[in-house]
Amino acid sequence: MASLLLPSPQLPRLANLLTSSILLHLLIVLLLLSLAYRVHRWHKLRHVPGPFLAGWTSLWLTRGFISYKVYEDMHALTKKYGPVVRVAPNKVIINNIDSIYRITSARSEYKKSDWYLLARVMPGADNLLSMRDPKLRAKRLRHVLPAFSGKNQDDFEPAVDKTISTLLDLINTKYLSSPSQHRLMNLAQKSHFYTLDSFGEIAYSQSFGSLDTDSDVLGIVKTGDVTFPLLSAVHNHHKIFQTIQKWPFYYLLPREGDKVGFGRVFGLALEIVNKRSREVGEEGVDKKRDMLQSMMDNGLEGDELRSEVAMSFFVGSDTVASAIRMTMLLLMTHPAVYRRLQEQIDDAAEKGKISRPVTNDEAKRHLPYMQAVIQESLRLFPPSSIVPFFKEVPETGDTVDGYYLPKGTTIGTGCVMWSMNRDEDFWGPDANLFRPERWLEANEERRTEMERCVDLIFGSGKFVCAGKKIAFMQMYKLFPELLRGYNWSLPDPLHLPTIDNPTIWDIHGLMVRIEKR
């Protein structure tokens, strides 16, 4: 039988020829289709200026993200091309303050783009940040916003006071220098311990114990350090991440039982939620007045609750830690500013205007120069200045600063923060200078304008950061204690710390010398 079917000697060649020509044709058709798609994609935004390559391939933008220098790229682009720039085939950035406020306003039809799926730290369960659907978002906001809201701020202060006192104890026992004793402290790390532990107290009525043990006990800092650089590589390729979150890759993702990394963090989220659920039923245990309890009281439970908790470890601590360490670095490198701030704090303390630790309200009323210092530091080093936070143009399309953007175009509202806050046309020729005085010199109208610009680093309108007030409170209460009690200095001008920006500002080797005053 088999031999009967054997083809004649010519046939294989013919068959080979046929298949290879079919394959060749198929390949050509595929190439043409892909080209047509690319031309179509390019054509849709051809009127928007930008680098030539960026119109054709995403890789142009990816290069910027991988180098951690995308914030500088964006600055160069807006300088060269104007207020709307195409940075990838389907992506633009805009650098007009009013336009950003308009597209994020409560009435706007803009949505979070699918980029936000990157924030889905727990597979299969959305948190407030990753949630895109406007209706679901509105519902989730109702459940979780009260936990972050102003009316609970007073309740949060004792939690932060407790953490500050632990930090000061740590400094006093382990890191004080004197003429006869030289000790250095890693301030970049301790600032993260502080924000992590104080957030733990605020949100879950439990410190994470980082300052108590002077170590990254739970591995959260480490997880962030490893994750952020990876994250910046996928900012422009979130689809890959989306695929990973689906079967079968899902099974490769971190699990609760893991000892380190995200798995450890999920496990911790689960532990916290379970512990509280048990306590709620128990007699004799006072009802906690923290963020977790507020979310539970508002009906959040199960995976929804756990995903909010897991997300909060990351958004709630790295950003503020970044702001604290950059502010301290700026102070130590600008002695005139440092001295003026220290004097204001000393003076307020002498006149009995601030308590120890300072209350949020006292800081707002009696320490205007400190507020200016913080604003100026946030302006120069916005904590999340490479994160794009892409928003999606609605069904109807939209015209932004004279450029028509068809539906589905995504607009990066985040990664332009460095650029907007150092724009010389807006800030003046000394835009790059750390000069808090500019905030005090400005008249009311100008100051409001300046604040509107810096405020954008927290997002705006319906997408605004839920933890903004908490972030300021954590800073307002901390700096006075650091400056009134100690002198801070950088030990060695020849070995200055190096600064990196893989999502937040990371300072390597921020070793500082602390002397009691």
User: The tokens of 74 are what?
Assistant: 């964006």
- Residue with smaller CB distance to ligand NAG, 492 or 515: 515
Q: Which residues pair with 178 in a beta bridge?
A: 181
487 DSSP β-pair partners: 515
In whole angstroms, the minimum distance from the beta carbon of 339 to ligand HEM comes to 25
Cβ atoms 417, 385 nearer than 8 A: yes
Quick one: how many helices (H) and strands (E) in the chain?
23, 13
Residue whose CB is less far from ligand NAG, 183 or 255: 183
Q: Which of 49, 426, 487, 500 binds ligand NAG (CB under 6 A)?
A: 487
Q: Are the beta carbons of 147 and 294 closer than 8 angstroms?
A: yes
- Should residue 515 be labelled a site residue for ligand NAG when binding is judged by CB under 6 A? yes
- Closer residue to ligand HEM in complex, CB, 170/466: 466
**E strand or H helix that includes residue 97:** helix 97-103
Shortest Å distance, C-beta 251 to ligand HEM:
28
Cβ 367 to ligand NAG, closest distance in Å?
A: 18
Q: Provide the minimum distance between the beta carbon of 323 and ligand NAG in the complex, in angstroms, as a whole number.
A: 23
Q: Smallest distance, Å, CB 333 to ligand HEM?
A: 20
Cβ at position 207, least distance to ligand HEM in Å: 15
Which residue from 62, 177, 344, 384 is in contact with ligand HEM, where contact means CB under 6 A? 384
CB 328 within 8 A of CB 488: yes
How many residues line the site for ligand HEM (CB under 6 A)? 22
Could you say which DSSP state residue 152 is in?
A: G
Contact 264, 218 (CB under 8 A): yes
The distance of closest approach from Cβ of residue 112 to ligand HEM in the complex, given in angstroms and rounded to an integer, is 7
Task: Report how many residues bind ligand NAG under the rule CB under 6 A.
Answer: 4
- Does residue 517 bind ligand NAG (CB under 6 A)? yes
Which residues make beta-bridge pairs with 176? 514
Q: Are 386 and 68 in contact (CB under 8 A)?
A: yes
Nearer to ligand HEM, 369 or 381 (CB): 381
Structure tokens at 349: 């303390």
Measured CA to CA in angstroms, residue 120 lies from 66, 82, 132, 344 at distances of: 21, 33, 11, 43
In the complex, minimum distance from the CB of residue 161 to ligand NAG, in angstroms, rounded to a whole number: 25
Binding status of residue 135 toward ligand NAG by CB under 6 A: no
* Residue 517 binds: one of ligand HEM, ligand NAG, none (C-beta under 5 to 8 A by kind): ligand NAG
Do 505 and 381 meet the contact criterion of CB atoms below 8 Å apart?
yes
505 is a site residue for ligand HEM (CB under 6 A): no
Residue 390: in which H helix or E strand, if any?
A: strand 390-392
Residue length of the chain: 517
Query: Pick from 164, 326, 450, 470: which binds ligand HEM (CB under 6 A)?
Result: 470
Question: For residue 290, what is the DSSP state?
Answer: S
The H or E element containing residue 86 is: strand 84-88
Binding to ligand NAG by residue 489, rule CB under 6 A?
no
**Phi first, then psi: what are they for 146, rounded to 5°?**
-55, -30
Verify binding: residue 383, ligand HEM, rule CB under 6 A.
yes
State the nearest-atom distance from the C-beta of 517 to ligand NAG, in Å.
5
493: helix, coil or strand? coil
Alpha-carbon span 159 to 357, nearest angstrom:
12
Q: Which stretch binds ligand HEM (CB under 6 A): 42-50, 253-261, 312-320, 397-405?
A: 312-320
Site for ligand HEM contains 224 (CB under 6 A) = no
**Residue 197: helix, strand or coil by DSSP?**
helix
CB 346, min distance to ligand NAG, A: 10
**Which of ligand HEM, ligand NAG, none is residue 385 near (CB under 5 to 8 Å by kind)?**
none
Residue nearest to ligand HEM (CB): 467
Contact 69, 419 (CB under 8 A): no
Nearest distance, CB of residue 491 and ligand NAG, angstroms: 14
Report the residue from 84, 466, 511, 512 that binds ligand HEM according to the rule CB under 6 A: 466
Is 405 in a helix, a strand, or coil? strand
Q: Pick the stretch among 163-171, 435-443, 445-453, 467-475 that binds ligand HEM (CB under 6 A).
A: 467-475
128 binds, among ligand HEM, ligand NAG, none (CB under 5 to 8 A by kind): ligand HEM
Q: What is the CA radius of gyration of the chain?
A: 27
**Which has the closest alpha carbon to 316: 158, 167, 147?**
147
| Pairing between β-strand 176-177 and β-strand 511-516 as defined by DSSP bridges | parallel
CA separation, residue 79 to residues 73, 75, 108, 422, 516 (Å): 10, 6, 27, 11, 46
Q: How far is the CB of 338 from ligand NAG (least distance, A)?
A: 7
- CA torsion sign for 332, 483, 503, 457 is negative
Q: Which of residues 312-341 bind ligand NAG (CB under 6 A)?
A: 339
Binding mask 395-414 for ligand HEM (x = CB under 6 A): ------------------xx
Residue 515 binding result from ligand NAG, ligand HEM, none, given CB thresholds of 5 to 8 Å by partner type: ligand NAG
174 binds ligand NAG (CB under 6 A): no
Q: CB neighbours (10 Å) of residue 211?
A: 24
Which residues lie near ligand NAG (CB under 6 A)?
Answer: 339, 487, 515, 517
For binding to ligand HEM (CB under 6 A), which residues are involved?
128-129, 312, 315-316, 319-320, 323, 383-384, 389, 413-414, 457-459, 463, 465-467, 470-471
